[in-house]
Amino acid sequence: MNKALKIVVLAKQVPDTRNMGEEAMTADGTVNRAALPAIFNPDDLKALELALRMKDECVGSTVHILTMGPLRAADIIRDAMFRGADGGYLLTDRRFAGSDTLATSYALSCALRKIGADVVVAGRQAIDGDTAQVGPQVAGWLGLPQVTYAEQVEQIKESSLVVRRRVERGVERVESPLPMLLTVNSSADEVRPQNAMRLMKFKYAATPSECAAEPEALRVKLAAEREYLNIVEWTADDVDCDKSILGLAGSPTKVKSVEAVVFQDKQVQSLTSSDEDIEKLMVELIASRTLG
Amino acid sequence: MANFFLDNKDLHYHLEHPLMRKIVELKERNFAEKDSYDYAPQNFEDAMDSYRRIMSLVGEVCGEVIAPNAEGVDSEGPRVVNDRVEYASGTVENLKAVKAAGLNGLTLPRRFGGLNFPLTCFVMANEMVARADTGFENIWGLQDCAETLNEFASEEQKQRYLPLVSEGATCAMDLTEPDAGSDLGAAMMKATWSEEKQTWLLNGVKRFITNGDCEISLVLARTEEGTVDARGLSMFVYDRRSGGMKVRRIEHKLGIKGSPTCELVFTDAPAELVGDRRMGLIKYVMSLMNAARLGIGAQSVGLCEAAYREALKYAHERRQFGKDIIQFPAISEMLSNMRARLRGARALLYETSRFVEIYKQYAHISRERSLEGEERQQMKYYNRLADAFTPLVKLLASEFANMLAFDSIQIHGGSGYMKDYACERLYRDARVLNIYEGTSQMQVVAAINGVTKGAYMEQISLYEAMSYSENMLPVVEKLKALRARVEAMVERVETINKEYPQYKDFHARRLVESVGYIIITYLLAQQATQVEEYESDTKLFLKLTEAYIASAEAYVNTSEGEDVALISEVQEQY
């Protein structure tokens, strides 16, 4: 019998940049968030699945989502609940606006200190920024051991996890003491679908702000009767943090410029899988210092 | 993200039908469970919201998991290993996904772990699954067997078996035997009571059993020694864990290859009697078959949808003579007719589902308390409609599915004949739809009395009396005239049949289909009255109806009683 784990999944709501249409970029080259649907960051869904597998294995475990973002980010907490998560925390405050990865990881780590977790699981990276920095930085702020590029938790021991991680030429099997943080690689298993019964049970889950926006809605009445429908909503004041390093003020990253790179025809090459073609490509890549 | 619900506005139309209010009221018994189950709806809007969300979930599983697996499942197929069926790997993945999504026990009561959804939603889910993979629809859709248990099994049996289905156990109907196909009354599987073991034991062979090696089977077997007809047959529920059943082989089929069609050998297999002895075929299997026929209707419409979409896509991509082939009237005519038939079949499917649902809900309520006068009449009314419409939708939807699959290949031209496109699989899959669960010929037998005894015409009169948009009035006028012509045909056939007894059978299909075409056109006209977008489909379907009836009429009116001899000649040959 495995011990019950308190698992927190770090997740982000992102613009769906996977199928970019023409309207997806603004004239100045930044992402036009209004034109793109907001989705659950794909790697974070894999993180959720990995967390839910641990929950399946260790009876009594809980999985909660922690996300920082605008009010509508509660959507991904509900989505996670439909798939098996027990609930979630929405960290939302204008003072968090403009956060780079350092400020984001700081805010998340402050919230995590308050929640307390045996395992923190995050997707490797978000599709809007592609930095892959937030997970490792959270581990840094909290002084937790971290395993990156995780694909699977192979063994859950009394005070450690054995994790399979994807590395360049294969896989590594590592063991780390609990509590710990994992970032999950996109090669991990697909997330399970939403579950019909859970969907109906949790569809009215809401944050206090959502309830306040529609005081007459059925969800307000149900949330008052049913504890599990309440999504926790925290501002900077609800977590113990140094306000001077939140948001823009705590973000050393400065975006100098954003450039939309459009490939010209002449940059496109068609290659066959023949040895000569591959050889030719290797030579070119080495010459241009892309490789080696 | 492919989603077979969100990409299909026609489904939304049928889900939002006005009769849903009555259906939800009946199904939810005035929302009696709203506080006892955390997933039960609070009111009508809440219920509808859940239906939309869950249909969207089904649509996603279909689009993202089942459809992408279909080609692999078709080529890999299931196999028999050590007397057991092993599904194709894609089928295993599909089952895992539908189980995780909790799409089992869709219509079962909550106290058995079900979602307590209306039949309309189940039919819609069936349709989407069939569009994704026609063969997998069988494996998933057979959960409907649990409805038969819910209707006829004892409370104690329900408590044991139904939660298993809600958790994902798959089912089968073990009816057919080597010498009992359409003629199920000839079934010889033997059931004997063992005093020693205090159970019924099954012995014999079942053949052509879809998903035969499932967890829970309903088995038709002979309990009354010395009998040879339907009156000696009873129905059993068999749990595979009890042992005594082996899969001897699975069939190599033309299509629906992912759905294992099994030959089963039962040797002293312990099973439980369901309901009363001797009522197996007469009552329970008849009910089971009606549900299954509606299921094939849904499967057929799902296949129509897939065939139409494949053809439409190809016609927009394929260029010849400097333009997309969709620009040629020869192609766009085919596609337009395909769409009209698709939407027509769907209209009939959901109309039938509503009739069956209301009737079944009254039947369930009648087991909880005695019905009031008005309710009793309603139950009788909808029962008659359900009985009349079920063979009609099975007949027409499955025939349309074959037409659409045929034309889908035609639009693909030479490429469609190759294995490179899905249309060839659809064509093979479609072929069984008008055969199993009662051939088209058997559906005509089931439906002809509805033509001659007035069930359809009464309903058509109700359709006539409805109010229609101005654009639809000319359609309704034409339908009235067509109805009169069909009535004249029926009268001629009835008259001649008095002297030549095979004459009605000779023309039965023409009469049944004529009535079916008229009904579908009415249903489409009602839709077009509410949503203009359906006008073209309605007008096109009306042309199909006019053409069909003109042809049927020409045949009937030039057939004399003596012509019965023309079709009996082959009976003497060979």
Residue A255 pLDDT: 77
**pLDDT over 80 (residue A259):** no
User: Rounded CA gap, B502 and B566, in Å?
Assistant: 11
Give the gap in angstroms from C-alpha A230 to the nearest C-alpha of chain B: 14
- CA-nearest of B106, B97, B169 to B139 is B169
Scanning every residue of chain A, which has its alpha carbon at the shortest distance from the alpha carbon of B167?
A197
Per-residue pLDDT of chain B (574 residues; tens, 9 = 90+): 899 999 999 999 999 999 999 999 999 999 999 999 999 999 999 999 999 999 999 999 999 999 999 999 999 999 999 999 999 999 999 999 999 999 999 999 999 999 999 999 999 999 999 999 999 999 999 999 999 999 999 999 999 999 999 999 999 999 999 999 889 999 999 999 999 999 999 999 999 999 999 999 999 999 999 999 999 999 999 999 999 999 999 999 999 999 999 999 999 999 999 999 999 999 999 888 889 999 999 999 999 999 999 999 999 999 999 999 999 999 999 999 999 999 999 999 999 999 999 999 999 999 889 999 999 999 999 999 999 999 999 999 999 999 999 999 999 999 999 999 999 999 999 999 999 999 999 999 999 999 999 999 999 999 999 999 999 999 999 999 999 999 999 999 999 999 999 999 999 999 999 999 999 999 999 999 999 999 999 999 999 999 999 999 999 999 999 999 888 888 888 7
Q: Would you call A203 and B53 a contact, using CB atoms and an 8 Å cutoff?
A: yes
User: In the CATH scheme, what is the code of domain B279-438?
Assistant: 1.20.140.10
Angle separating helix axes B455-465 and B503-530, nearest 10 degrees: 20
Q: Would you call A199 and B54 a contact, using CB atoms and an 8 Å cutoff?
A: yes
**What is the identity of the amino acid at A164?**
R
* Better pLDDT: A35 or B237: B237
Q: In this predicted complex, what is the ipTM?
A: 0.92
Q: Would you call A199 and B49 a contact, using CB atoms and an 8 Å cutoff?
A: no
Q: Mutate which of B53, B60, B122, B140 to test chain A, going by most A C-beta atoms within 10 A?
A: B53
B61/A contact by beta carbon, under 8 A: yes
Give the gap in angstroms from C-alpha B225 to the nearest C-alpha of chain A: 47
pLDDT-based confidence at A29, cuts 50/70/90? low
**What is the identity of the amino acid at B149?**
L
Angle value at C-alpha B519, between B518 and B521, nearest 5 degrees: 65
Structure tokens at B431: 């072929």
What SS3 state is found at A170?
Answer: strand
User: Rounded CA gap, B87 and B258, in Å?
Assistant: 7
User: Rounded CA gap, B98 and B110, in Å?
Assistant: 18
Q: Would you call A203 and B49 a contact, using CB atoms and an 8 Å cutoff?
A: yes
- CA-nearest of B412, B138, B99, B102 to B255 is B138
Backbone angles phi, psi at B508, to 5 degrees: -55, -45
pLDDT-based confidence at A169, cuts 50/70/90? confident
- CA-nearest of B257, B265, B259, B163 to B219 is B265
Backbone angles phi, psi at A173, to 5 degrees: -115, 115
Whether the ω angle into residue A179 lies within 30 degrees of 0, i.e. cis, is yes
User: Rounded CA gap, A119 and B215, in Å?
Assistant: 38
Residues of B in contact with A218 (CB under 8 A): 42-43, 46
Residue B278's CB is within 10 A of a number of other CB atoms, namely: 17
Angle value at C-alpha B197, between B191 and B202, nearest 5 degrees: 20
Backbone angles phi, psi at A156, to 5 degrees: -110, 115
**What is the identity of the amino acid at A209?**
S
Scanning every residue of chain A, which has its alpha carbon at the shortest distance from the alpha carbon of B110?
A197
Q: What's chain B's length in residues?
A: 574
- CA-nearest of B387, B389, B384 to B350 is B389
Contact B493, B559 (CB under 8 A): no
User: In the CATH scheme, what is the code of domain A6-255?
Assistant: 3.40.50.620
CA B483 from chain center: how many Å?
Answer: 26
- CA-nearest of B263, B274, B166 to B220 is B274
| CATH architecture for segment(s) B454-561 | Up-down Bundle (1.20)
- CA-nearest of B245, B283, B273, B265 to B156 is B273
- CA-nearest of A123, A87, A276 to A198 is A87
User: Rounded CA gap, A226 and B369, in Å?
Assistant: 33
Give kind and range of the element (H or E) at residue B364: helix B329-368
Nearest to B103 among A196, A198, A222 (CB): A196
| Rounded-to-5 percentages of helix, strand, coil across chain B | 65, 10, 25
- CA-nearest of B563, B520, B569, B557 to B542 is B520
Partnered with residue A38 across adjacent β-strands are: A15
Which residues 76-105 of B are in CB contact (within 8 Å) with A? 97, 100-103
Burial class (CB in 10 A: 0-12, 13-18, 19+), B318: middle
Per residue in A89-144, pLDDT tens? 999 999 998 888 999 999 999 999 999 999 999 999 998 888 889 999 999 999 99
Backbone angles phi, psi at B437, to 5 degrees: 55, 35
Contact B4, B128 (CB under 8 A): yes
Ordered by start, the domain boundaries in chain A are 6-255
Tell the CATH superfamily of the B1-169 domain. Answer: Acyl-CoA dehydrogenase/oxidase, N-terminal domain (1.10.540.10)
User: Rounded CA gap, B376 and B374, in Å?
Assistant: 5
- Dihedral, B362, B367, B368, B370 alpha carbons, nearest 10: 70
Give the gap in angstroms from C-alpha B61 to the nearest C-alpha of chain A: 7
**What is the identity of the amino acid at B507?**
H
Buried b (16+ CB within 10 A) or exposed e, B384-418: bbbbbbbbbbbbbbbbbbbebbbbbbebbeeebee
Q: Mutate which of A55, A200, A204, A229 to test chain B, going by most B C-beta atoms within 10 A?
A: A200
Buried b (16+ CB within 10 A) or exposed e, B115-145: bbbbbbbbbbbbbbbbbbbbbbbbbbbbbbb
What is the greatest pairwise CA distance in chain B? 80
Scanning every residue of chain B, which has its alpha carbon at the shortest distance from the alpha carbon of A225?
B35
Q: Would you call B102 and A197 a contact, using CB atoms and an 8 Å cutoff?
A: yes
Q: What is the pTM of this model?
A: 0.92
Give the gap in angstroms from C-alpha B279 to the nearest C-alpha of chain A: 36
Nearest to A196 among B38, B43, B54 (CB): B54
Q: Would you call B54 and A201 a contact, using CB atoms and an 8 Å cutoff?
A: no
* Better pLDDT: B134 or A255: B134
Angle value at C-alpha A140, between A136 and A143, nearest 5 degrees: 130
Residues of B in contact with A81 (CB under 8 A): none
Q: What ranges in B216-328 are assigned the alpha helix state H?
A: 286-317
Name every residue whose Cβ is closer than 8 Å to that of residue B280 and which is 6 or more positions away in sequence.
Answer: B220, B221, B223, B233, B234, B235
Residue A290 pLDDT: 76
- In the A/B pair of chains, how many CB contacts fall below 8 A? 46
A59 sits in the region (left: phi over 0; alpha: psi -120 to 50; else beta) called beta
Burial class (CB in 10 A: 0-12, 13-18, 19+), A150: buried
**What is the identity of the amino acid at A228?**
Y
Q: Would you call A200 and B50 a contact, using CB atoms and an 8 Å cutoff?
A: yes
- Inter-CA distances, B470 with A190, B177, B477, B538, B545, Å: 52, 54, 11, 13, 20
Q: Would you call A197 and B39 a contact, using CB atoms and an 8 Å cutoff?
A: yes
Scanning every residue of chain B, which has its alpha carbon at the shortest distance from the alpha carbon of A84?
B100
**pLDDT over 90 (residue A285):** no
Residue B263's CB is within 10 A of a number of other CB atoms, namely: 19
User: In the CATH scheme, what is the code of domain B172-278?
Assistant: 2.40.110.10
Domains B172-278 and B279-438 share a fold: no
Residue B256 pLDDT: 98
pLDDT-based confidence at A30, cuts 50/70/90? low
Spell out the SS3 assignment of B516-568.
HHHHHHHHHHHHHHHCHHHHHHHHHHHHHHHHHHHHHHHHHHCCCHHHHHHHH
Nearest to A199 among B53, B61, B100 (CB): B53
**pLDDT over 90 (residue A33):** no
Ordered by start, the domain boundaries in chain B are 1-169, 172-278, 279-438, 454-561
Terminal Cα distance for chain A, rounded: 50
Contact B34, B47 (CB under 8 A): no
User: Rounded CA gap, B221 and B208, in Å?
Assistant: 16
According to DSSP, residue B283 is labeled I
Q: Would you call B101 and A196 a contact, using CB atoms and an 8 Å cutoff?
A: yes
Q: Would you call B100 and A193 a contact, using CB atoms and an 8 Å cutoff?
A: yes
